[in-house]
Homo-oligomer: A and B are copies of this chain.
Amino acid sequence: MGRRLYMQLRRQMNDGTLCAGSRAPSTRALAAEFGVSRTTVTAVYEQLAAEGFIVTAPGRVARVASQLTPSAPPRSGRRTRPQPTLSAYGTRVEAMALPALSAGKPPRIDFLYGAVAARDFPALPWRRAHQAALLQHQPRLYYEPPVGDASLRRALQGYLARARGLLCDAEQIVIVHGSQQAIDLCARVLLDPGDAFAFEDPGYLMARRCFEATGARLLPVPVDDQGLDTARLPEDRHVRLAYTTPSHQFPLGAMLPIGRRQELLRWAARRQAWIIEDDYDGEFRYGQRPIEALHAIDTDGRVIYIGTFSKALSPQLRLGYLVLPAELVPVFRQAKRLSDRHAPVIEQRALASLIDSGAYERHVRRVRRENERRRSALLDAVATHLPAGARVVGAAAGLHVVLWLPMQGQQDEAAVVAAAREAGVGVYALSPLYAGPPARSKPRQAGLILGYASLDVEQIRKGVRALAAALARVAAAP
């Protein structure tokens, strides 16, 4: 009711019509002018006084506060006032090239790596578990420990022992917002500007960027068909950690053999470095049972294990975890608390009950079978439709393959991706995952990443056929 009056008085004080220190209009006059009761005017004055616009005192006339300054007239043209600066981190991060976010309509058939099929999500069990967690009695709602919900950490401890041969205390587990936060916490807590880090080349770009954002120096380590080439790990004295994906190298797909695992651990001991083991899709191994984690053979407490629910459940859940050497638990606990206190409670409890009931592992087995079917369809379609030279690697595990196209040079990748896109098929260039330009003496062949976890078998077949046609068009182009 007094809103119009309030706004007019604010405006007049703002533009200087009512000067600082001057008498405020009488309540009687305002009541008449606005056709409201004097009670309304008094309420407006009380609000303005509470906000400090006017000064009132019993028995004195109200005055406009003396410190008030009318706002400057709006400046025209571009901003001339110098703006504050960003931190070194902010400056690095702002300039950083990150993978483009898919904007607009996705291609009709999208081999997007990292996406999973919506119908694979266990919506009903999740809804039930979520509802049960929501109704679980709590005397009050307050912050939880930064390391995460105790029931989820216990459930994970059992799961990791069963599924990944990884024996740890629940106390070593910290629940985080997906593996991205796990990586970011490692970067913050372990790297300074001027330090160096060893990183798989090619490797997972969103992890590399996290480490680079700290101002530390990238030391790329080549990857071959057995994964990280541990004979070429850097002996740089500034190196603080190595990031690796030993179960299924991202993106090339090798499993790091035991000899290299041991060599990596010896290197870490020699260099006093940490090893970050990103087990991003360790659940998905076809034929063999999933290999145990690198963490399982670490006797020195140098391996930081990272797990995620983004592949087996949904990347939109934003839940993952770290298994830390005991001595790193205190610093990660504090860093997680300062970062965002803790992960959401209901979701953690829902997940704990899914794991405890066995529903999670049943779900993983089911999705593994689904993905095995998708993978077979992809391999069959590649063998049937693509030219003879095309070679798939990394298909023994995970949710994507790499497709090498020796008939095309690396410089043709963009043309292939664009031609496929024109045909309604999304495929993704491999070369951005390399740390630097390829050696001139030995130009690399074109490579594509094809994720298949969000597609059905029919789409996969159609997609590969369309890709084959697009490749033929590129090859025929002048």
Contacts and interface: CB of A to CB of B under 8 A. Distances in A.
A178 B51 contact: no
Contacts of A71: 297, 299
A115 B142 contact: yes
Contacts of A291: 50-51
Contacts of A337: 98, 180, 206
Contacts of A81: 269, 300
A450 to B, nearest CB: 15
Contacts of A190: 84, 86-87, 90
A138 to B, nearest CB: 5
Interface stretch (A34-42, A315-323, A427-435): A315-323
A57 interface: no
A118 B141 contact: yes
Interface in A117-141: 117-118, 121, 123, 126-127, 130-131, 134-135, 137-141
Given A123-B134, A255-B50, A318-B342, A88 B262 contact: no
A223 to B, nearest CB: 15
A82 interface: yes
A145 B101 contact: yes
A206 B340 CA distance: 10
B338 A93 contact: yes
A131 B88 CA distance: 43
A177 to B, nearest CB: 4
Contact of A72 (B134, B299, B302): B299
Interface in A279-332: 288-289, 291, 297, 299-302, 314-318, 327, 330-331
Interface string A6-32: 000000000000000000000000000
Contact of A180 (B82, B259, B340): B340
Interface stretch (A343-351, A371-379, A408-416): A343-351
A87 B141 contact: no
Contacts of A257: 51-53, 65
A90 B140 contact: no
B181 A340 contact: yes
Given A89-B188, A241-B84, A344 B331 contact: no
A340 B318 contact: yes
Given A272-B83, A289-B47, A343-B318, A259 B93 contact: no
Interface string A169-191: 00000001110110010001111
Given A123-B135, A188-B90, A337-B98, A67 B318 contact: no
Contact of A316 (B47, B79, B346): B346
Interface string A44-83: 0011001111000000000001111101101000010111
Nearest to A131: B127
B123 A140 contact: no
In this complex, the member of A89, A299, A345 whose beta carbon has the largest number of chain B beta carbons within 10 angstroms is A89
A258 B338 contact: no
A124 B38 CA distance: 43
In this complex, the member of A115, A195, A206, A340 whose beta carbon has the largest number of chain B beta carbons within 10 angstroms is A340
Interface residues of A, number: 122
A388 B45 CA distance: 32
A273 interface: yes
Nearest to A397: B50
A353 interface: no
Contact of A84 (B53, B180, B273): B273
A257 B130 CA distance: 44
Given A52-B226, A206-B338, 5 more contacts: A87-B191, A101-B145, A118-B141, A141-B315, A144-B316
Interface of A: 46-47, 50-53, 65-69, 71-72, 74, 79, 81-90, 93-94, 96, 98, 101-102, 106, 110, 112, 114-118, 121, 123, 126-127, 130-131, 134-135, 137-146, 176-178, 180-181, 184, 188-192, 195, 206, 209-210, 213-214, 226, 240-241, 255-263, 266, 269, 272-274, 288-289, 291, 297, 299-302, 314-318, 327, 330-331, 334-335, 337-347, 396, 454
Q: Would you list the 6 A-B pairs with minimal beta carbon distance, nearest first? A: A52-B257, A67-B259, A90-B189, A316-B345, A181-B340, A177-B340
27 contacts: A47-B288, A51-B258, A52-B255, A53-B257, A66-B259, A83-B272, A84-B274, A87-B189, A87-B191, A93-B334, A96-B334, A98-B337, A112-B142, A115-B140, A118-B137, A118-B140, A121-B141, A123-B135, A126-B134, A130-B134, A139-B454, A143-B316, A177-B177, A178-B340, A206-B337, A213-B338, A316-B345
